[in-house]
Amino acid sequence: MVFQEAFEWYIAVYLFLAGVGAGSIVAAVLADMYDREKYISFIKSASVIGMPLVAIGIFFLYIDLGQGMWKPWLLLLLFVNPTSAISWGTGILTLFIIFSMLYAMYNLGLSRLVSFMGGWLPKLIDGMGSSKWIKWMLILTGICTAGYTAVLLGVLRAIPFWHQTSLPILFIISATSTGISGAMIIRELAFKTEDSMHKIETTHFYLIVLEILLLFGMFLIAMQGVPEMQYSAKSLLSGKFAIEFWAVLVFLGLLVPAIVFGLGESGKMHVTGGKLIFFEALVLLGGYFLRFLIVHAGVYTQKFTDYIQ
C-alpha cells in the first residue's frame, strides 16, 4: 500500500476554503429568502467571507497546477474540454465567484464604489444582486462548488477511499456547517444585532449531527470495500492518522460543538460572545481536518491501478 503524495496540504486548504465560502453563501441566500430583515446581519457576514474565501482557495489550487502559476494563459485550456470534470468545476467556480461578488456588493452597499462610472452601474449591480434568479443561481453554483471539492478527489479512481458516493454529500453538509460557523464568527465580531439567530443555530446543530452520521456511514462502507479502501479507513481509525482523526476531527471538531449546540437547543446553555466564537472555530477546525485527513489517507497499489485501466 502506498500513500498518495500528489495532493499536498494546499489541496486540503483549497477544499476547506472553497467549502466554507460556498457554504456560507448558500446559508445566507436561504436565510435571505426566508426573512431578509431578521437575518440581515448574518447575510452581510456571509457576504464578507463567501467570494473571498473561494477565490483564495482557488489560488491554492493553482499552486497544485504548477505551470498555471507561471504560465497563466494555460489556465484558459481548463474551459475547453467539455468532457473533463476539471472543466466543469472551472466553469462552476467562475460563475459562483461572479454571482457571489454581485450579491455581496448589494448586501454590503459596495455598489456605490463604482458610481464614478455613472449612476447606471450601481443600479445594475443592486438590481442583479437582489434578483431572485441570482439567488437561485447562487444556491445551485454554491452546492456544486461544495460538491466539486469532493468530485476533484473522486475522479481519481486509483484511490478507492476517495471514490465513494457519500463523499460529495459529506463535503456539502460540512461546507454548509463550516460556512455557517464562519459567518457567525464574522457576525459576532462586526455585525452583531439583537435579532435571534435561533433557526440558523438549530439548522447548524442538525447539520453537525448529520455530518457525524455520514462520516460513520462512510467508514462502515469503507471497511467493507477493497483492501486499499480498508487500509485508508484503518489508517484514520487506528493507524498513522488516528490521533488527529479522533482527537481533532471527531472530538474537538464534531462532538464538542454538537454537545454544546445541543445543550443550547434544549435551553440548558446559552453561548454568546467569545465562547460562541470559540465553539464555531472548533467547527472550522474540524472542517479543515476532515479534508486534510481524507486527502492524506488516500492509498493505492500498483495492482489496483493496473486493474482499473
Domain range for 171 is: 2-308
Candidate from 9-18, 53-62, 216-225 with smallest mean pLDDT: 53-62
DSSP-assigned states of every residue in 46-77: HHHHHHHHHHHHHHHHHHHHSHHHH-GGGGGG
Residue 233: the pLDDT is: 94
Q: The whole model's pTM is what?
A: 0.91
Dihedral (Cα; 172, 53, 64, 168), 10-degree rounding: 0
Has residue 67 got a pLDDT over 70?
Answer: no
Has residue 62 got a pLDDT over 80?
Answer: no
307: exposed, middle or buried (C-beta count within 10 Å: 0-12, 13-18, 19+)? exposed
Place of cell 462532538: 255
Nearest to 109 by CA among 40, 17, 51, 29: 40
Place of cell 457525524: 212
Determine which helix (DSSP H) or strand (DSSP E) holds 114, and give its type and residue range: none
Helix (H, G, I), strand (E, B) or coil at 3: strand
Residue 215: the pLDDT is: 96
Spatial distance between the Cα atoms of 4 and 247, rounded to a whole number of angstroms: 23
Tell me the CATH number at 303.
Answer: 1.20.1630.10
Number of domains in the chain: 1
Spatial distance between the Cα atoms of 43 and 17, rounded to a whole number of angstroms: 18
Determine which helix (DSSP H) or strand (DSSP E) holds 179, and give its type and residue range: helix 166-186
Contact indicator for 8, 64 with CB cutoff of 8 Å? yes
Selected residue with higher pLDDT from 8 and 20: 20
Q: What is the pLDDT of residues 183-242, one digit of tens each?
A: 999 999 998 887 888 899 999 999 999 999 999 999 999 999 888 899 999 999 999 999
* For residues 110-129, average pLDDT: 77
309: exposed, middle or buried (C-beta count within 10 Å: 0-12, 13-18, 19+)? exposed
